[in-house]
Amino acid sequence: MSDKSCSGLMAEKVVLREVYDKLRATDQPVDVICEVTHGFTFEQAIDFLKSLGAVVQEREEDRTDRYLFARLTDVVQAIKIDSAFDSKEERPIYHVWLDKKMSTCAADFADTSVATIKAAAASQLFSCSGKDIRWAVLDTGVDFNHSWLKPRNGNTASLRRNLTSEPDGDEVGHGTHVAGIIHQIAPCTVLHDYKVLGRDGGSSSSIIKALYEIRKANLEARTMLIHGVNMSLGGPVEVGSYGCGQSPECQEVNRLVDSGVVVCVAASNDGHKVMATVEAGNLQLFSTFLDMGISDPGNAEEAITVGSTHKDNPHTYGPSFFSSKGPTGDGRLKPDCVAPGERIVSAKAGTADEMIERSGTSMATPHVSGAIALFLSAKREYIGRAREVKQILLRTCTDLNRDRYFQGAGMIDVLRMIQCV
């Protein structure tokens, strides 16, 4: 028997099971993310996929430095990709992932939450407001016509990047609400609108493209054009995927953090479910907490993954019942921390100055983004040192005396964060 047949590479599938499951479940084309094997060119990968009948996005702006985005029409194409080559070294495509659906992390139902994380005290004591800090909001868009969010120079064109098929702006209201929370905490922070979700949500590929563009822009400028990213969004972790935190969107988050950008991600709202059981022949419903509910890209190791807690009395009530609990599938501690996420009042899209109340880990995450923007404007030597910033944040959290997989390191405290360095 040859060494090649003993290596185990032949048994490993290129196309993940989640792709096969999706192809079998629908008669519609399925969008996929193709990771190009090291040592192969994009042109070789494109030619290979096209030879098997796949539809490939060939424009440079429709790919990153690692991923191609394509569409498979049937299971036969997936089987051909898996069987085309004997070993990993000989194939131009390393893995084919499902381009998953992504959605906002808001639950269906100048705030006191700003005081809860001590942002107002920190801003006053250290005279910091987020000045000269830039934060990207990857969401449903930002309504820059709201009085809170109007750029001082009136120019919004340079602050927008639309990766959806919908018009610019925020037709959902989620991204505007998220941006408004960052504004409340760090009002001088410049917000960049990366629209990756629309009315029907979005996909992994649009998020990957946005993260790649931010990393590329900072690299080409040889300076930090954007210091942080807020992603109040998430998608399901497919059972057939490899270990949690290894999906393309998670890995792209890790690369962006490696480049020095802070990335804050919502943990999701799957911490509580209504389950069914049968007692004495009768169907009974009961409520329970669920673990391992963190969504991607919140499973990314380098992300600051944020759960939700009560905005006024976090010590009494602890993490919100809906806030997703850890650990990750491979046993890592998530969420990393919690912040106020219940009944948060912020900017309402489509209005000049009206407010609206929302709940969810989507609302907790921009509290952390705003807090770190304050920190970076007060301690500018930490710009570009994303991992150290995360460690300082977690080291200065307040323990709520809850299970670690519920609260992570605890509730953020921006005043203590600034004071400790």
For residue 186, the domain's CATH number is 3.40.50.200
Tell me, yes or no, whether 234 and 199 share the same domain. Answer: yes
Cα–Cα nearest to 294, from 265, 252, 256, 264: 265
**Phi, psi dihedrals of residue 182, rounded to the nearest 5°:** -60, -40
Is residue 2 a part of any domain in this protein? no
Is residue 3 a part of any domain in this protein? no
Tell me, yes or no, whether 216 and 364 share the same domain. Answer: yes
- Which residues constitute the domain of residue 79? 9-99
Tell me, yes or no, whether 289 and 411 share the same domain. Answer: yes
Is residue 16 a part of any domain in this protein? yes
Q: Tens-of-pLDDT digits for all 421 residues of the chain? A: 333 333 333 346 789 888 988 888 888 999 999 999 988 999 999 999 999 888 998 888 788 989 999 999 998 888 888 887 655 557 899 889 899 888 776 654 456 899 999 999 999 999 999 999 999 999 999 999 999 999 877 778 889 999 999 999 999 999 999 999 999 999 999 999 999 999 998 999 999 999 999 999 999 998 999 999 999 999 877 766 655 899 999 999 999 999 999 999 999 998 877 778 787 888 877 777 788 889 999 999 999 999 999 999 999 999 999 999 999 988 999 999 999 999 999 999 999 999 999 999 999 999 999 999 999 999 999 999 999 999 999 999 999 999 999 999 999 999 999 999 9
Domain boundary among 49, 69, 99: 99
Tell me, yes or no, whether 271 and 300 share the same domain. Answer: yes
Tell me, yes or no, whether 76 and 166 share the same domain. Answer: no
Provide the 3-class DSSP secondary structure of residue 6: helix
Alpha-carbon span 341 to 359, nearest angstrom: 6
Count how many domains the chain has.
2
Q: Which residues of 278-307 are buried (b: 16+ CB within 10 A; e: fewer)?
A: eeeeeeeeeeeeeebbbbbbbbbbbbbbbb
Domain boundary among 99, 127, 145: 99
Domain boundary among 99, 118, 133: 99
β pairing state of 55-56 and 101-104: unpaired
Tokens of 338: 């919690």
Q: What is the pTM of this model?
A: 0.84
Measured N-to-C along each axis, helices 248-258 and 204-221 cross at an angle, to the nearest 10 degrees, of: 20
Bridge partner list, 55: 71
Tell me, yes or no, whether 76 and 92 share the same domain. Answer: yes
Task: For residue 356, give Cα distances in angstroms to 291, 317, 351.
Answer: 30, 23, 10
- Position 348 scores a pLDDT of 95
Is residue 307 a part of any domain in this protein? yes
Is residue 1 a part of any domain in this protein? no
Measured N-to-C along each axis, helices 174-185 and 361-378 cross at an angle, to the nearest 10 degrees, of: 40
- Position 6 scores a pLDDT of 34
With contact defined as beta carbons under 8 Å apart, do 339 and 411 qualify? yes
- Position 12 scores a pLDDT of 61
Alpha-carbon span 264 to 70, nearest angstrom: 28
- Position 241 scores a pLDDT of 63
- Position 323 scores a pLDDT of 95
Is residue 4 a part of any domain in this protein? no
- Position 265 scores a pLDDT of 98
Bridge partner list, 356: 346
- Position 7 scores a pLDDT of 33
Q: Which DSSP state fits 234?
A: E
Measured N-to-C along each axis, helices 119-126 and 361-378 cross at an angle, to the nearest 10 degrees, of: 10
With contact defined as beta carbons under 8 Å apart, do 326 and 332 qualify? yes
Tell me, yes or no, whether 55 and 121 share the same domain. Answer: no
Give the CA angle between residues 58, 62, 64 to the nearest 5°. 105
Bridge partner list, 69: 33
- Position 86 scores a pLDDT of 55
